């Protein structure tokens, strides 16, 4: 791991433990050259995922990009950041456990939409408007009708 202060590759791990949410490993490091101390968080990646865009272009999967798009949909919504982190971790686990090393961007969108539906209805509609490329007000109405019918179905199943 490269030192953020002097750029040296000669760093040593002084302490290593799971993060509070158990999704990464927290490592305290010290640089042998400048003595600088810093912390890294390392995630286990089961496989290298490649995203196939609509254009056919292939790009490496970027968890941070997924998190940013979810956070945009959730902007100014009262959702606990830990729940968002768990949701994104769940989507990444679905992708990694699919058994495929290449996955369509559309499938990622489907997983995110399913997860957002259970997290926040407003964020779900916001994400859907971009993911499904809404062009007219009736597109919003269609998604809202889907949510309403899902709420009725869920209520009936509980009774």
Select the CATH number that applies to the domain covering 50-158 from these four: 3.40.50, 1.10.10, 1.10.1740, 1.20.120.
1.20.120
Rounded-to-integer distance, Cα 44 and Cα 25, Å: 8
Is residue 30 a contact partner of residue 39, using CB atoms and an 8 Å limit? no
Give residue 91's Cα distance to chain centre.
6
Tens-binned pLDDT, residue by residue, of the chain (159 aa): 889 999 999 999 999 998 776 767 889 999 999 999 999 888 765 568 899 998 999 999 999 999 999 999 999 989 888 899 889 988 988 888 877 889 999 899 889 988 988 888 888 888 887 776 677 777 777 777 777 766 545 545 555
For residue 97, what pLDDT is reported? 81
Answer yes or no: are the C-beta atoms of 124 and 104 closer than 8 Å.
no
């Amino acid at each position: 791991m490269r030192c953020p202060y002097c750029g040296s590759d000669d760093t040593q791990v002084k302490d290593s433990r799971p993060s509070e949410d158990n999704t990464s490993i927290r490592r305290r490091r010290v640089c042998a050259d400048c003595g600088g101390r810093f912390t890294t968080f390392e995630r286990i990646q089961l496989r290298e995922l490649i995203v196939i865009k609509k254009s056919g272009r292939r790009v490496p999967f970027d968890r941070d990009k997924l998190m940013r798009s979810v956070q945009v949909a959730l902007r100014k919504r009262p959702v606990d950041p830990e729940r968002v982190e768990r949701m994104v971790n769940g989507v990444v686990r679905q992708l990694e456990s699919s058994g495929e090393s290449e996955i369509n961007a559309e499938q990622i969108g489907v997983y995110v939409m399913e997860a957002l539906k259970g997290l926040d209805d407003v964020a779900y509609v916001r994400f859907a408007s971009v993911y499904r490329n809404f062009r007219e007000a009736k597109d919003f109405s269609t998604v809202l009708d889907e949510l309403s019918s899902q709420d009725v179905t869920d209520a009936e199943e509980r009774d």
